[in-house]
Structure 1
């Protein structure tokens, strides 16, 4: 079990766990999940951390479809900041307690402002990392937002 799965269970949120054998040579963790599990890429979301206003440790979380690119201007605006840039992976791992490629928006060591791309609301359920490479958790976008205390924003072009 991961902290993300344990949190979903504790909050009694309906969810399904999907697992696959992760290939360490895979270039995209999210697209690997799509291929290995036979999922619609629009329903598989990646968790990205970004720093705001030039402060390396002032982080926020963006949850976006794996086939989209984070618009840093939109991300900064969602966080109420002027500027955003991708977080240093070492800092992201230390603050969340998860490894890159397995960072979940749920069960992080430190609660960070979290924003989910608004397209998630189109689907009955979406898939996000469950906290380990090769493990996805499927749940409703509203349940994810509730547990992560997240808001919905346009985060991609």
Structure 2
């Protein structure tokens, strides 16, 4: 069980910022997805000398299934690598928010994996309109306003260091 810090809850992102994060992240994932298939199409045309076409239903179904799997892999990769290594996605950079563990530390890889897979639950994208999103609750993480959180943590550290002897 993780230690829960009240300072994390005081700086939770608003539902409006969470919605903007959701919308912008989906736009960026779509842009990456279309860029991937654009580059794939150019490569296919160069190698085979013609454009790709699914003429019969079997090829069309296979292509649709492959496209769906690629989209899911891109979405998972986008959220996992951005949130694990940077603590935020591109949208969170824009809105000034970041992902943090409820104990105030950087989320672990297990927390980020749980958070990312939780996004696949139907209606999870609407759950952030409540108190906490399901992918936040199930992974013990929160989306916070980064600057305000850091400022309060620094202030508390400075106050607690008052009166302490300095080593020269």
Larger radius of gyration: 2
TM-score by length of 1: 0.25
Q: Which has the higher helix share?
A: 2
